[in-house]
Structure formats: structure tokens, C-alpha cells
Amino acid sequence: MDHLIYSHYFSLPTQGNIYTITNLELANGTSKLLVASLKREIFCFEYVEGTNGTLIPTAREVSFTYIPTGAEIISIDAYNKSSKNNEFVVGITIIKNSNDSDSLETYLNIYSGWEASEDFNIENIAQNCQSLELNFIPYRLMHTDLFLWDNDGLCSQEKVFLLSGSDHYIHVFREGSDHLFKEVDAKEYFPEFIKHPSPVVWMDSMYINNDSDDVLKYGLSNYCSLPRHNPTNILTCCEITDVDLDGKLEILVGNSAKV
């Protein structure tokens, strides 16, 4: 990673956290970033090609509906339902501040939209919202593939949202035939989603053996089995990716101080 060079940065009006950034993979192969700050502001970041072939970084604020004044954004995630079109689903978890901790209101807002042309307009998606009230404080929001099997083999494949919460569970939200999301019984599709001894602060998943088995990795809020760099640092997340584009995967471990 020593040969990586500085590219660009843009400032946020307020801080975010490890859950408030997600990638938008467009059908044409390009990508954009959605970055949220705690105080409701959400920005779309991308590189556009200049007249002389140089890449120009741009960032603009996107106004998502149903995020009331005073609410804080906890986590954000997005995925494209189609490989040929831009049919995005964006999930945002929020918490409405209150002086009474027993009356905190938390929600999962799900935004969706379909673009017929290659021109992608995130503002259209931001106006189409389904808001689901939660009975727990949300943590990590992510999506994964759900494979449904019958005796003849693979029956269907779809994407679902996974959301970890303060109740020590990982919740599953699935889109129905009416295109509305609702929480489903996690044990029916992911039997490994038992109640954990503490909240799951980070999780990721992958499929192996021709998509017949899923592997879930997660980190708990009490790090009884994870080493620390020093007693004051807490490991918060982990990612496996080809950072330096050499064809080999690296493991990035983030803590409260650095990566």
C-alpha cells in the first residue's frame, strides 16, 4: 500500500461513521459513492472525464425524503437489482433524537427507482421512500444474495437487506411481490442468525460451493477474541479486497485510530 498516492478529498459538514458510505455500481460499469453525515446530509461523489481525458472529482448533496430535522443517520447501503439497467435500492437507517432514551424512534428508510436510460439520476430515487419503524437501535446495514432451492436445484435468486441491531440479532428485510419490503424470519433463510451475546457491529457474507453454502463473518461489540494494537484501540471493521490492483487480495482491518 506504500505506492498508493493521494487522489482527492471532500469535507463533510458533520462527521459520519463506519456505516455511512456505500458504493453504487451502475449498469455501464462505472461507480459512484454515497456518503452520509450524521446530521442528515448525504452526498454523491464521482469522477467525471474532462475534455482532455483527465478525471475531475465532483460531489453534490442529494436530498432524501423522510429524514426529519434533528434525525441522525446511522447506516446506509445500496444495490442494483439489475445487471442491464439502473434499478437501485438504497437503505438508510435513522434515529430521531429525544431527551428520553426510552422513547427513541428508529427507522429503516428504503428508496427505490428505475432509470430507463443510461443517464442515472439519484434524485429520482431519493423521492420514492418506504419507511419501516424499528424496535431496536440499528448498526450495520448491508445486502446479500438470497438463493432459494428446491429438489430440482436453484429456484430463484434475489437480494435482501441484513441489519444488525442493539437487540443482538441480525434482521432480514425482503422485498415482496408488491415491491414493498418487510422483515422476514431470519432463521428460515439464514439459520446461522442466532441471538449473539452482544450487538454485531460488523458483518459480511459470501457464497461458496456453487452458491450452495453461505459464509457469514461478523464482529461483536465485545472483542473477546480479537487482538488490539493497544488497550485504547477498538477493532471496528474488516474488508478483503485488492487494494493495490496487483491481482492479490489484501485484508484491511480498521480500528478506532487507523486502518
Check residues 23 and 242 and name the one with the higher pLDDT.
23
Q: Within 10 Å of residue 139's Cβ, how many Cβ atoms?
A: 22
The predicted-structure confidence for 38-85, as pLDDT tens digits, reads as follows 888 999 999 888 888 888 999 999 999 999 988 999 999 999 998 888
**Biggest alpha carbon–alpha carbon distance for the chain:** 57
User: What are 247's three cell numbers?
Assistant: 491481482
Please state the rounded mean pLDDT for residues 216-229.
51
> What pLDDT sits at residue 234?
61
pTM of the model as a whole: 0.80
The H-or-E segment that residue 148 falls in is strand 138-150
